[in-house]
Amino acid sequence: MTWLVTGGAGYIGAHVVRAFRNDGIDVVVIDDLSSGKAEFVPDGVPFVRANLLDGAAVREALEGVDGVVHLAGFKYAGVSVQRPLHTYTQNVTAMVSLLEAMADKEIRNLVFSSSAGVYGTPKDEVVTEDTAPDPQSPYGESKLIGEWLLRDQAAATELHHTSLRYFNVVGSGDPTVYDASPYNLFPIVCDLLTQGKVPQIYGTDHPTPDGTSVKDYVHVADLARAHVAAARALESGKTLEPVYNLGSGTGTSVREIMDAARRVTGIDFTPTEGPRRPGDPSRVVANGDLATRDLGWQNTFSVDEMFATAWEAWPKN
C-alpha cells in the first residue's frame, strides 16, 4: 500500500508523511517547494519536485500509488485577496490536473485537505458540518470549489473521497519540522520571543471570558493521524462523510496562548495590546464529533504541550 502526499514537504504535509510511515504505509511526495522545505521530507521517501500543473510529473509520481492525500496549494487567505488568480490556479486548476491524472491511472481514493476557511465568519460559535459555507476570501472559495470537484468527479467515476476541514494547526510532532508561516500565531510568537521582542494581542474587548478572541487550535500530530485514519477507511471500502471538521469543540483564547508561551519558554513578558483587526471573530470553534465517530479523531495535547512542541522545533538561530 502506497499513498502520494501532495505538498508533502510542507509543515502539515511532512507530518502526514511521518504519520503514514509510522503506520506502515509507504509514501511518495510531490511538492514544488514554493513554501515547503526539502529537508522536511524524510530520508528514503521518493520525492518528485514539481507543481501539480505539470501533468507528466504528476503521472510519474502516481506510478504504483493506491491513493492520494492532497495538501498542496496556496494557503494564505489574506494574501489570496490580492492574488486571486494565483490562488485559483494553484488550488483549483492544479486540483483538476491531479484528478485527471488520477483518473488516467485509475486511482480511486483521495483525502483532501480542505479548510475552515469555507465557513468564513460563521454566526454559529460552534461550527458543525451542517453550518452553511460562506467563504470570504479566494482561498476559502478555492477550498470549497475543491470539495465540489470531488463531489462531481465521484458522481462521474468511482472516486472515493473525503475532505477534512481544520482550523488552526499548531505545534510539532518532530523537532526538525516547524511551522514557518508568517501569518500564524504560534510562529509569530516564537519568532518575536526568539528576537527578544514582545508579541501583541489584537483586541481585548471581545465578549469572551478574558476579552481576547477564542479560536480552535489542533495539534499537527493529531491532525496527521486523522489523515491516516481516513486513508485506511477509504482503502478498506468504508463510505465516509464528504466532509469532517477536525476541532476541539472548546477553543483557546489568544491570552491563554500568551500565558502558555510565558510558562513554556520561561521568558517573562507582558504582551502589548492593540485594537481588533477587521473581521476577526470573537469565538469560532469546531465540533469534531463526526470525525471522532468515523476516524477516531481526538485532540490529545494541552495548550502548554502544543506550544512546547512548537517552541522546541522553532529555529533559535
Mind listing the domains of the chain with CATH numbers?
2-169+217-246 (3.40.50.720), 172-216+248-313 (3.90.25.10)
Burial of 212 (0-12, 13-18, 19+ CB in 10 A): buried
**283-286 vs 126-127, strand pairing mode:** parallel
Q: Does 178 qualify as catalytic in the annotation?
A: no
Containing 111, the helix (H) or strand (E) segment is strand 109-113
Interhelix angle 303-313/185-194, nearest 10 degrees: 60
How far apart, in whole angstroms, are the C-alpha atoms of residue 297 and residue 286? 13
pTM of the model: 0.96
Q: What single-letter amino acid sits at 135?
A: P
Residue 266 CB-half CA count within 13 A: 1
Query: For the chain, what is the largest distance between any 2 Cα atoms, rounded to a whole number of angstroms?
Result: 58
Using CA atoms, how far residue 151 sits from 88, 100, 144, in Å, is 18, 14, 11
| pLDDT score for 78 | 85
For residue 10, the Cα-to-chain-centroid distance in whole angstroms is 10
Interhelix angle 11-22/220-235, nearest 10 degrees: 60
| pLDDT score for 29 | 98
**Using one digit for the tens of pLDDT, what is the confidence trace for 20-75?**
999 999 999 999 999 999 999 999 999 999 999 999 999 999 999 999 999 999 99
Mark the ranges of the chain whose per-residue pLDDT is less than 70.
317
Residue of 11, 88, 119, 139 marked active site: 139
| pLDDT score for 31 | 98
